[in-house]
Amino acid sequence: MSESTAPRGLGRMEGKVALVFGAGSSGHASGHTGWSNGSAASALYAREGARVVAVDLVPAAAEATRDIILKEGGEAIAASADATKSDDVAAVVGQALAAYGRIDVLHNNVGVTIMGGPLEISEESWRRGLDLNLTSAFLACKHVLPVMIEQGKGAVVNISSAAGAVVNEYPYASYYASKAGLNHFTRAMAIQYAKQGIRVNAIMPGIMDTPLIYSQISGQYGSVEDMVAARNARSPTGRMGDAWDVARAALFLASDEAKYVNGVILPVDGGLTCL
């Protein structure tokens, strides 16, 4: 049975509300279809009983994820927001509260890879990378943490990258810097809010096969086939992971099964960061 037709789960998220930023697929507009980290996590949360608020910059991408959840018998609403704008984030938080009355899980999946080092990219591109990969998580926490503090409980899952811990062959300086910043931001928030019942963890995906690589990374290779072969070869397992590997890790961190897991930066990378 494929992940796209998987049945509802064990109810590990029953009664919870999950707010997912970056819930659409980066390939929605470019035509590179498939499950993204955000859409897979949203669907898995819903299969385990959560009510999902699927948020994306592109309304149609958020709606596509919502429609998948509804088709599977889950409950979800779609919302559009620029996660780098505080007013947009605040408005989406208000929509989530109006629809469901609480927010139990904040899932921060917004991000972008921008190729180039200090000599190649503009200051504007550098700041865009930092804003999308790091400031978006800061703004989401800024507006959601007060809700969780009032509830006395909540879980934040930040989607980082193995690039936040190791340097690979790609020349994306802003990505390295922002994902490393997201890792430490995660640790800092985990300690600061632990006594208020809030857990903050992050996942570091490694070499993954998601729509993002076809729209944002394939240009580093002679062809898409070259990219796939090279990325498979780089993984210690001999193959790339996929969005469901990340989603299953996110489900654990978001669920009460991880109630004593806090401040963890979890690699989901087939062992890549051990090298």
The Cα–Cα gap between 76 and 7 comes to 17
The Cα–Cα gap between 172 and 132 comes to 14
Task: Tell me the CA distances in angstroms from 217 to 26, 112, 114, 115, 207, one per residue in order.
Answer: 12, 10, 9, 8, 12
The Cα–Cα gap between 218 and 222 comes to 8
Identified catalytic residue from 172, 175, 176, 214: 175
Q: Is residue 260 annotated as a catalytic residue, yes or no?
A: no
Task: Tell me the CA distances in angstroms from 181 to 184, 202, 207, one per residue in order.
Answer: 5, 12, 20
**Kind of pairing, strands 154-159 and 265-268?**
unpaired
Phi-psi region of 7 (alpha: psi -120 to 50; beta: other; left: phi over 0): beta
Enumerate the active-site residues: 175
